[in-house]
Amino acid sequence: MFGTASGDFARLLQRSAAGFDFLARRSGLEERAGTRWEGEAWLPPRFAPSIPRFDPVPGPLTPPAPTVDVHGTTVIAVKYKGGVLNVGDRRATAAFAVMYDRAEKVLALDDYTLIAISGSYAKAIEVVRYLRHAFKYFERSQLQRMSLDGKLSELARVIAANVPNLMNGIGAFIPVLSTYDLDRNEGRIFFYDGMGARFETAEYGAAGSGAERIRGCFEYVLRTKGPFHEMSFDEALYEALLLLEIAAELDTATGGSYKHLPLAKFIDAEGIQDVPEEKLRETLQRIGAGPATVR
Amino acid sequence: MVYTPYDFNEAVRHRAEYVEERLRSGSPVVGLSCRDGALLLSVRRSQRKIYEIYDRLMFSAIGHQGDIETFRIAAIDFCHQEGYQRSPDDVSAQRLVGFALSPPLKRAFGDTFTAPFVLRGIFAELGKTPEADAYYVLNYDGEFSVTYGYGAIAGSRYGEELMRTRLAALDGGSLTLQAALAQALRIWALGSRDEPEARGEDDEDGGRLLEGEEEFIDRTLREALAEGTVEAGILQRNTQRESKFRLLGVRELEPLLAPYRLPQR
């Protein structure tokens, strides 16, 4: 009787397009009274997704001019002893223009899952909103947490549904997903390609235009300083912020920390937390990057 | 056969009696706000009783398990659709209860050809301050009411009123979580207190053996804890966690319950 008994948020959205009438149908009122439940008015069908899995907002028909698609740039995820750390610069660009210098590209999906996004800002933020609801909807309705594998598949589906955008050269995004695995007691990092293939990485993940420039730096750190997952939190934070600074110097689309502090969050067995501002400033000072004067 | 207005009144009365009878044995639920957040507390047997609905909403109910489930899922569906299509800020208990749940519940109750929902639910909504926390009580006939800072449901009208009176006398905003839990637990027991007329048992001499309120609470809690489990959920006001809701653990609850587990003096 209930289309959502499976806790599938995408199906809930689909069903709502057809009219939300669970109670009317239950009591048979709909047929007798010849009316539909007012609840239907919540959601005009034209706003409902048309692609089965994910396409919440059909976009207007606009030419793919470079300035319509704002891009988030560099995000980095590294393991440390006890969890995972995510850092990201604050810049969002459209072609050669800096559009925004307070972008938040490291976002919590639930108590133990962080997503770091690069690429089309509009699409990525929309996907984050969707996933937040999808994960929580499952947990709240099914009274159990969605498995890590379930979450990873949901994200893969969302990326796969976005392939037409990718082919049109607009609206592509690439996420890095970090989580703390409570069963294994360790942090885990996953990255995706544009088609939705997922890969687990042993040490680090990065995405965005700056990430390509500094890929070799990660390997250099691994070989000269040892694996990230054996570093202390402070060491890992130092390396991650230094890598971000290098990306900012080598990539025009990546913002440095001179104006706004980078975004930094970590996940350990206790859940997600922000890296305290003081800690960020102090670490940046050690790196020799002028700490942000503005928040 | 002609269906007259008299028949309708009669049918509705029978339905109300039918539902009230089934609700009577339900375990009450107490809602109380404190500094740390909004709290719902009850004592349950096997099934879970306090549920997260949305970012700032939780729910508990007495009634038929199947009906409770129907409304729990309906509430979750409504909130997640709204929260996603618009914003989580647009999801409120007032919209949920007033527009999404109450009208169809009333309609189902008035439809004498189907079984009525057996349900009395309470929705707690976390506000910015304890005084702004809203507790919506939704009844089987679609009626709903709201109180701020506290709320209660029970199987009987008398028990419910008694709980509300005691809750209203508290200043929840000044309480710590532990203090609020202790108060909520004692007020929970009052939810199953009988009306004064029904309370006094006639002894052999025709006198009345009245049990004081404190004694009644102690006895009720002893009995309840021997058979059931205390369940308490909180929506935390200031938390860094992505989810504000959590069920309180044994570690937090057991110190409060220990006194009622001691053998009777």
Is A104 buried (19+), middle (13-18) or exposed (0-12) by CB count in 10 A? middle
Residue A59 has pLDDT above 50, yes or no: no
Which residues in chain A are contacts of B90 at CB distance < 8 A?
none
Is A108 strand, coil or helix?
strand
Taking an 8 Å cut-off on Cβ atoms, the answer to whether A143 and B78 are in contact is no
Question: How far is residue A106's CA from residue A274's CA, in Å, rounded to a whole number?
Answer: 10
Q: pTM of the predicted model, to two decimals?
A: 0.85
Q: How far is CA B163 from the centre of its chain?
A: 10
Query: Which of B62-76, B81-95, B187-201, B205-219 has the weakest average pLDDT?
Result: B205-219
HEC-encoded secondary structure of B134-161: EEEEECCCCCEEEEECEEEECCCHHHHH
Query: Which of A50-59, A234-243, A255-264, B184-193 has the weakest average pLDDT?
Result: A50-59
Taking an 8 Å cut-off on Cβ atoms, the answer to whether A143 and B99 are in contact is no
Question: How far is residue A288's CA from residue A281's CA, in Å, rounded to a whole number?
Answer: 10
Q: Which residue(s) pair with B62 in the sheet?
A: B120
Given pLDDT bands bounded at 50, 70 and 90, which one contains residue A259?
confident
Q: What residues of A are labeled active site?
A: 73
Among residues 70-89 of chain B, which lie with CB inside 8 Å of chain A? 70, 73-74, 76-78, 80-85
Is A286 strand, coil or helix?
helix
Please state, for a pLDDT cut of 70, what percent of chain B lies above it: 94
- Rounded average pLDDT over B21-43: 97
Dihedral class, residue B11 (left if φ above 0, else alpha if ψ from -120 to 50, else beta): alpha
DSSP secondary structure code for residue B194 in this structure: P
Express each pLDDT in A148-164 by its tens digit: 999 999 999 999 999 99
Given pLDDT bands bounded at 50, 70 and 90, which one contains residue A171?
confident
- Which residue of B77, B100, B111 is in closest CB contact with A4? B77
The predicted complex's ipTM stands at 0.91
Question: How far is residue A189's CA from residue B25's CA, in Å, rounded to a whole number?
Answer: 50
Q: Report the interhelical angle of B5-23 vs B102-110 (nearest 10°).
A: 120
Question: How far is residue B250's CA from residue B31's CA, in Å, rounded to a whole number?
Answer: 19
- In contact, A138 and A110? CB cutoff 8 Å: no
- Which residue of B81, B84, B242 is in closest CB contact with A108? B242
